[in-house]
Homo-oligomer: A and B are copies of this chain.
Amino acid sequence: MKRILLLTLALSSMLSFSQTDEETIREIYTQSLTNGKSYEWLDYLSNQIGGRLSGSLNAELAVQWGKEELEKLGLDKVWLQPVMVPKWVRGTKEYAYIESSKKQTTNVNICALGGSVATNPLGLKAKVVEVHNFEDLEKLGEAQIKGKIVFYNRPMQADLISTFNAYGGCVNQRYQGAVEAAKYGAVGVIVRSMNLRLDDLPHTGSMTYDDLPVEKRIPSAAISTNDAELLSASLKLDSDLEFYFKQSCTQYKDVLSHNVIGEITGSEFPNEYFVVGGHLDSWDLGDGSHDDGAGIVQSMDVLRLLKESGIQPKRSIRVVLFMNEENGLRGGTKYAEEAKRKGENHVFALESDAGGFTPRGFSFDCSEANFNQVLSWKPLFKPYLIHYFEKGGSGADVSPLKSDSNVLAGLRPDSQRYFDHHHAANDTFDAVNKRELELGAATMTALVYLFDKYGTNPLPEQSQIKN
């Protein structure tokens, strides 16, 4: 019986060697769309574990789950890589209202920004000054800001096609808003949620105090886009209104957590390492299905799909479930440190951290030669409507692996709906479409397959791919 099995394996291995790239990639997509595991995994991670902020019990449950699931795949190695992570806890639900100068109150939806200090236990109430950017702060000066809450209300720019560009144009309000406002004596910060839609959901996300001493740190919260519009309109009618908010979040000491790593050891060049990964931690408001449960399960499925498609990688392919992308990047940093310390030659790394939507292509951080190599593969992706191959950033977790010679890449899914869910209570499993998720996993696997087959030192002409 065992002999028959081995013979079957040998035959299927021989068959796969005679396959063209077109056929192999077709097989990868068929496997993902008809026999994929990513959606089932995401269901568990999202609905049985849920939101998993670094340092939380759920994050540790996710680490255990990730390790157990990778162990089931029959990889060559699975292990946990220890890493110390920040532990910030939201505490009880935040509470906020607008109080008009006639003492009429209107409740609004806020959430503390990740890393923020709490308000006084009785809450914070102050007048509000609305700004759109840090230059506005400078113009207003301490005279008009001191003792007030600064309300950052610059919306995401709707006419940008990439919503990530719109996010990039806004997120400094959230990340550095408190530090900048504190310079002028502000007592708190309210930031319009990074959301292109008008709705009632506040969107959290990380913020910094830089080296501000503890006693100068001011509480920061995000307000829903609908309530940002309301607050802005209210201020126009009643500039003396006050804003009240209460939040009880706490920053604890760092705690031990882990990256989860699985490896298929390369058959020809075991010392050339590929990484494919996403981040296992998420914010705490939703279940982190798009950010970045999708990237986690797609990355896990890359290794499984390689096996299911009968591909024995020449190079060592690792899946890394990075811990703590959201508020520290400790996992990505630690992984790169350890790789450097051990002298592991990481030639290719691919990250999926832009949602589980229909994949459109990849962004590449690499040399011109490698980029041309990738462009020569573009026709292989056309049947799958994968068309976006551009130079640019890769992803936060793999970026510390950058070297002069390696290739970093990021999956680029359709971005239109991403910020409807990003860091909010509606980043949930029901917002992920099974086929879109599976197409992403297949697209990643196809790129890994090609880089493994042809290596990252392209020939002057990519003639070997014209089969």
Which A residues are within 8 Å of any B CB, using their own CB? 29-30, 33-34, 158-159, 161, 163, 196-197, 358, 360, 383-385, 387-388, 414, 416-417, 420, 433-436, 439
Residues on the B chain within 8 Å of A34, using CB: 158-159
Q: Looking at the assembled complex, report how far the CB atom of A413 sits from the nearest CB atom of chain B, in whole angstroms.
A: 10
Cα separation A384 to B415 with both chains bound (whole Å): 12
Contact pick for A158, options B33, B159, B433, CB 8 Å: B33
Residues on the B chain within 8 Å of A159, using CB: 29-30, 33-34
Residues on the B chain within 8 Å of A436, using CB: 416-417
Q: Looking at the assembled complex, report how far the CB atom of A181 sits from the nearest CB atom of chain B, in whole angstroms.
A: 28
In the complex with contacts A387-B387, A433-B420, A435-B196, A29-B161 CB distance below 8 A: yes
Number of copies: 2
In the complex, the answer to whether B416 meets A161 with C-beta atoms within 8 Å is: no
Closest B residue by C-beta to A388: B385
Cα separation A358 to B162 with both chains bound (whole Å): 12
Closest B residue by C-beta to A437: B416
Q: Looking at the assembled complex, report how far the CB atom of A299 sits from the nearest CB atom of chain B, in whole angstroms.
A: 20
A161-B385, A358-B358, A416-B435 known, 5 other contacts, Cβ within 8 Å: A161-B384, A360-B385, A416-B439, A417-B435, A420-B433
Cα separation A360 to B361 with both chains bound (whole Å): 13
Q: Looking at the assembled complex, report how far the CB atom of A242 sits from the nearest CB atom of chain B, in whole angstroms.
A: 32
Q: Looking at the assembled complex, report how far the CB atom of A394 sits from the nearest CB atom of chain B, in whole angstroms.
A: 19
Residues on the B chain within 8 Å of A161, using CB: 29, 383-385, 439
Cα separation A392 to B449 with both chains bound (whole Å): 32
Q: Looking at the assembled complex, report how far the CB atom of A92 sits from the nearest CB atom of chain B, in whole angstroms.
A: 31
Closest B residue by C-beta to A433: B417
Residues on the B chain within 8 Å of A384, using CB: 161
In the complex, the answer to whether B414 meets A414 with C-beta atoms within 8 Å is: yes
Cα separation A161 to B32 with both chains bound (whole Å): 12
Cα separation A434 to B433 with both chains bound (whole Å): 18
Most B C-beta atoms less than 10 A away, residue of A33, A358, A385, A388: A385
Cα separation A420 to B384 with both chains bound (whole Å): 20
Q: Pick the 5 closest A-B CB pairs, nearest first.
A: A387-B387, A30-B159, A33-B159, A416-B435, A33-B158
In the complex with contacts A33-B158, A34-B158, A416-B433 CB distance below 8 A: yes
Cα separation A358 to B30 with both chains bound (whole Å): 24
Closest B residue by C-beta to A435: B416
Q: Looking at the assembled complex, report how far the CB atom of A175 sits from the nearest CB atom of chain B, in whole angstroms.
A: 24
Cα separation A197 to B434 with both chains bound (whole Å): 8
Cα separation A197 to B438 with both chains bound (whole Å): 13
Residues on the B chain within 8 Å of A197, using CB: 434
20 A-B residue pairs with CB within 8 Å: A30-B159, A33-B158, A33-B159, A34-B158, A34-B159, A161-B383, A161-B384, A163-B435, A196-B435, A197-B434, A358-B358, A385-B387, A385-B388, A387-B387, A387-B388, A414-B414, A416-B436, A417-B433, A417-B435, A420-B433
Q: Looking at the assembled complex, report how far the CB atom of A416 sits from the nearest CB atom of chain B, in whole angstroms.
A: 5
Q: Looking at the assembled complex, report how far the CB atom of A463 sits from the nearest CB atom of chain B, in whole angstroms.
A: 26
In the complex with contacts A196-B435, A433-B420, A434-B197, A414-B158 CB distance below 8 A: no
Residues on the B chain within 8 Å of A29, using CB: 159, 161
Q: Looking at the assembled complex, report how far the CB atom of A255 sits from the nearest CB atom of chain B, in whole angstroms.
A: 39
Cα separation A327 to B196 with both chains bound (whole Å): 38
Residues on the B chain within 8 Å of A33, using CB: 158-159
Q: Looking at the assembled complex, report how far the CB atom of A429 sits from the nearest CB atom of chain B, in whole angstroms.
A: 14
Cα separation A385 to B360 with both chains bound (whole Å): 9
Cα separation A387 to B196 with both chains bound (whole Å): 24
Residues on the B chain within 8 Å of A158, using CB: 33-34, 435
Cα separation A417 to B435 with both chains bound (whole Å): 8
Cα separation A387 to B359 with both chains bound (whole Å): 13
In the complex with contacts A196-B435, A384-B161, A434-B197, A416-B358 CB distance below 8 A: yes
Cα separation A57 to B387 with both chains bound (whole Å): 45
Contact pick for A414, options B358, B387, B434, CB 8 Å: B358
